[in-house]
A and B are shown apart, each in its own frame.
Chain A
Amino acid sequence: MQLSDRITGLFVAVLGAAAAYGGSKLPPVPGQQVGPNVFPMVVGTGLLFCGALIALGVGRRFEEEAEAELVAHSDPNALAAETPPSGWIYSLRVLIPPALLLFYVYAVDFLGFLITGVTIVAAAALALGARWWFALSFGLFTTALIHLAFAKMLRVPLPFGLLQFPW
């Protein structure tokens, strides 16, 4: 998601202002001049200032130089592979990993680690171009491996849910 410096700078500035305002509302420590309010105010003011500078394009040249140096040091073909195919639907694919993590959070207690784990690994592998039989078998293998390592050896309480491992 490439945004213009104006937008990200503005966002940073607004966040800074909100932090400074929110910080100033915090109750002080009785009998002290400084308390929990000072640090957010200092940081917020700094963010506001930096955000304004970014929105105005200050420091852009440093970035261009670093980029030029990186381009000079790496393979043009590898860099070409970095630029994704066009189309915003395609670029929504980046949200698959965080979505799978949220799926884990909401499903693992009910479905159990076995089903959730296999689903996540298989879905991620399919999204990255694996064949379905590979995705499923690899999902099963990985989930079993991680379960052995974390639940058996390290005693992390991974939930059983609907289906559990035979060990």
Chain B
Amino acid sequence: MNTYTEALGLVLQADVIIAILCSAVYGMIVGALPGLTATMATALLVPVTFYLSPIAAIAAIITSSAMAIFAGDIPGALLRIPGTPASAAYTDEAYAYTRKGQPEMALGIGLWFSALGGIIGTFALMIVAPQLAEFALSFSTFEYFWLAFLGLMCATLVARSSPVKAIASMLLGLLVACVGIENPAGTPRFTFGSTDLLGGIEALPVLVGVFAVSEVMRAMVTAEPPRLASRRFGSILKGQLELTRKFVKLQVRGNLIGIAIGALPGAGADIAAWVSYSVSKRFSKTPEKFGTGHPEGLVESGASNNAALAAGWVPALLFGIPGDTITAIAIGVLYMKGLNPGPTLFTERASSMYALYYIFILANLLMIPLGILMIRMCSKILSAPRSAIMSMIILMCAVGAFATGNNLFAVVLVAVFGVIGFVMERNGYPVAAMVLGIVMGTMVEQNFVTSLIKSDGSIWPFFSRPVASLLAAMTIAAVLWPVFAWLLRLRRRLQTHAG
């Protein structure tokens, strides 16, 4: 019990509370602006977290990402432009409500069930993580290698693109992670004589490049999204309690799917929303009503994406393996602040862990009043001209990248990865898979090479330990899944031809 009060003391510091409030407003605004994702909000926040205390830094990341995921629903519902990819799955449904003249219903569902989902996801994190931590203490490099590899494969499976291109993106990320002297022998690798490359390519400039700069580049060649007419909203939370009572089963199912997908290394909130929406449609008694302004899909996917956000911290905290791109950034911040991820985090720094839970719950509670305020003010915020937002972002990218190490080379990297991200996106190569490859590259290599040295070059021990063999089987299944799906389709096509 002592740890709980100690943790509460950590959270109730003035700097932590200010960080939560400021990052909440920041996350809401960035998430609500179309095209600016929750990942981008988090990436641009990292340079600021350098200068905060550890708990305040983590609080800023957690709060801004949770707010941004919800706020992405606002332009989705009002303009049919999803603010973040996590809202894309149900944008149509939410917009159908607006067409019926009930935007407050769609936004209310998004807000209420997001907050509930976030809180339930946090409880899952509180229950599951310590249990798994005990189990994870017995992991050796073989298990860590498979776990990291499984995370990378999951990231390619959920990419909503060609699996081959997703795997290629992931390998590209691993290749980028090879650059530098941080390798088993400490020899300069792929540095081409540049001293700037000796330290390797950091994940942060890459993230800022592929998520922020490439978005500004896209804005250069696309038309400005339509302005939002200012409108008055009715009561936003009216009828939500009734919906909660009516759709309790859907909400729980959404939470569970979100938690499961979030806890899976490599898969995050966006995919949780897509899966939940389609599950909801498949098991609904009235699937024909979907897409016409029907609450079921909204309830389930809204409950799912915020639950996934919290559960994504499970693999991040336990193994240092990101659940999605947001936790990939968070892991970097954890290391920087001396809260190195790993099972021992739960025994040695227990109070910090509990503080993290409190912050999650606080952020989700704060989401309701702040979300209502944001919805009421959104016509003002969304009418900010794109030329102002994008030009501000480009300067923030430069200063933010520079601030990470007071090094101008980071700004060059931001520009280079902006171009790479833009070209990859245009040609169907998922950038998130590359980012996860870069973040996890060193870890994968370290565990791979250490395991190989331990086994004297033999690959048999990779499969002989019980947990390692289970993880290996899951990974291989993930690799072979696209092949299996293709064979299944081929068979069906042949059957229809024969028929």
Whether B253 sits at the interface, judged by CB under 8 Å, is no
Q: List 15 A-B contacts (CB under 8 A).
A: A3-B426, A33-B452, A34-B452, A40-B175, A47-B168, A47-B172, A51-B168, A85-B221, A97-B213, A104-B411, A109-B408, A122-B391, A124-B395, A134-B387, A142-B395
> In the complex where A47-B171, A128-B219, A156-B406 touch, is A101 in contact with B394 (Cβ < 8 A)?
yes
Whether B284 sits at the interface, judged by CB under 8 Å, is no
Q: Which residue of A lies closest to B451 (CB)?
A: A34
Interface string of B35-48 (1 = CB under 8 A from A): 00000000000011
The 8 closest A-B pairs by CB, nearest first: A124-B391, A59-B162, A128-B387, A130-B387, A101-B415, A59-B164, A84-B221, A50-B168
Contact of A98 among B415, B444, B452 (CB under 8 A): B415
Please give, as numbers and ranges, the residues of chain A lying within 8 Å of B453 by CB-CB distance. 32-34
Please give, as numbers and ranges, the residues of chain B lying within 8 Å of A22 by CB-CB distance. 190
Please give, as numbers and ranges, the residues of chain A lying within 8 Å of B91 by CB-CB distance. 73-74
Q: Which residue of B lies closest to A69 (CB)?
A: B160
Please give, as numbers and ranges, the residues of chain B lying within 8 Å of A26 by CB-CB distance. 185, 187, 189
> In the complex where A8-B429, A120-B394, A121-B394 touch, is A62 in contact with B175 (Cβ < 8 A)?
no
Q: Is chain B's binding surface mostly helix, strand, loop or mixed?
A: helix
> In the complex where A74-B88, A135-B387, A138-B388 touch, is A60 in contact with B220 (Cβ < 8 A)?
no
Interface string of A25-52 (1 = CB under 8 A from B): 0111100111110111011101100110
Whether B428 sits at the interface, judged by CB under 8 Å, is yes
A94-138 with Cβ < 8 A to chain B = 94-102, 104-105, 108-109, 117, 120-130, 134-135, 138
Looking at the complex, which of B342-350, B366-374, B397-405 is the stretch in contact with chain A?
Answer: B397-405
Please give, as numbers and ranges, the residues of chain B lying within 8 Å of A134 by CB-CB distance. 387-388
B442-496 with Cβ < 8 A to chain A = 444-445, 448-449, 452-453, 456-457, 482, 485-486, 489
Please give, as numbers and ranges, the residues of chain A lying within 8 Å of B402 by CB-CB distance. 156, 158
> In the complex where A36-B183, A120-B398, A156-B403 touch, is A127 in contact with B175 (Cβ < 8 A)?
no
Whether B216 sits at the interface, judged by CB under 8 Å, is yes
The answer to whether A50 touches B171, judged by C-beta atoms less than 8 angstroms apart, is yes
Looking at the complex, which of B133-141, B222-230, B232-240 is the stretch in contact with chain A?
Answer: B222-230
Please give, as numbers and ranges, the residues of chain B lying within 8 Å of A142 by CB-CB distance. 391-392, 395
Please give, as numbers and ranges, the residues of chain A lying within 8 Å of B396 by CB-CB distance. 146
Whether A164 sits at the interface, judged by CB under 8 Å, is no
The answer to whether B398 touches A101, judged by C-beta atoms less than 8 angstroms apart, is yes
Give the contact-size bracket for chain B: 35 or more
List residues of B whose CB falls within 8 A of some A CB: 47-48, 50-51, 80-82, 88-89, 91-92, 95, 160-165, 167-168, 171-172, 174-175, 178, 183-185, 187, 189-190, 213, 216-225, 385-388, 390-392, 394-399, 402-403, 406, 408, 411-412, 414-416, 418-419, 422-423, 426-429, 444-445, 448-449, 452-453, 456-457, 482, 485-486, 489
Q: Which residue of B lies closest to A157 (CB)?
A: B406
> In the complex where A40-B175, A40-B190 touch, is A150 in contact with B403 (Cβ < 8 A)?
yes
Identify which of B164, B416, B489 gathers the most chain A CB atoms within 10 Å of its CB: B164
**CA–CA, A58 and B445, complex, Å:** 28
**CA–CA, A74 and B95, complex, Å:** 10
The answer to whether A128 touches B395, judged by C-beta atoms less than 8 angstroms apart, is no
Please give, as numbers and ranges, the residues of chain A lying within 8 Å of B485 by CB-CB distance. 62
Write the nearest CB–CB distance from A66 to chain B, whole angstroms.
Answer: 4
Contact of B185 among A35, A98, A128, A149 (CB under 8 A): A35
The answer to whether A124 touches B221, judged by C-beta atoms less than 8 angstroms apart, is no
**CA–CA, A44 and B167, complex, Å:** 12
Contact of B387 among A63, A78, A96, A125 (CB under 8 A): A125
Contact of A129 among B224, B394, B408 (CB under 8 A): B224
Write the nearest CB–CB distance from A22 to chain B, whole angstroms.
Answer: 6
Write the nearest CB–CB distance from A19 to chain B, whole angstroms.
Answer: 5
Please give, as numbers and ranges, the residues of chain B lying within 8 Å of A39 by CB-CB distance. 174, 178, 183, 444-445, 448-449
**CA–CA, A149 and B44, complex, Å:** 13
The answer to whether A62 touches B161, judged by C-beta atoms less than 8 angstroms apart, is yes
> In the complex where A98-B418, A120-B395 touch, is A16 in contact with B423 (Cβ < 8 A)?
no
Please give, as numbers and ranges, the residues of chain B lying within 8 Å of A47 by CB-CB distance. 168, 171-172, 175
**CA–CA, A82 and B215, complex, Å:** 12
The answer to whether B427 touches A3, judged by C-beta atoms less than 8 angstroms apart, is yes
**CA–CA, A1 and B92, complex, Å:** 28
The answer to whether A101 touches B427, judged by C-beta atoms less than 8 angstroms apart, is no
Please give, as numbers and ranges, the residues of chain B lying within 8 Å of A139 by CB-CB distance. 391
Q: Which residue of B lies closest to A101 (CB)?
A: B415
Write the nearest CB–CB distance from A51 to chain B, whole angstroms.
Answer: 7
**CA–CA, A38 and B91, complex, Å:** 46
> In the complex where A22-B190, A47-B172, A154-B48 touch, is A125 in contact with B391 (Cβ < 8 A)?
yes
The answer to whether B398 touches A1, judged by C-beta atoms less than 8 angstroms apart, is no
The answer to whether B415 touches A128, judged by C-beta atoms less than 8 angstroms apart, is no
Please give, as numbers and ranges, the residues of chain A lying within 8 Å of B168 by CB-CB distance. 12, 47, 50-51, 54
Q: Which residue of B lies closest to A42 (CB)?
A: B448
Q: Which residue of B lies closest to A99 (CB)?
A: B415
**CA–CA, A36 and B394, complex, Å:** 37
**CA–CA, A51 and B164, complex, Å:** 8
Please give, as numbers and ranges, the residues of chain B lying within 8 Å of A135 by CB-CB distance. 387, 391
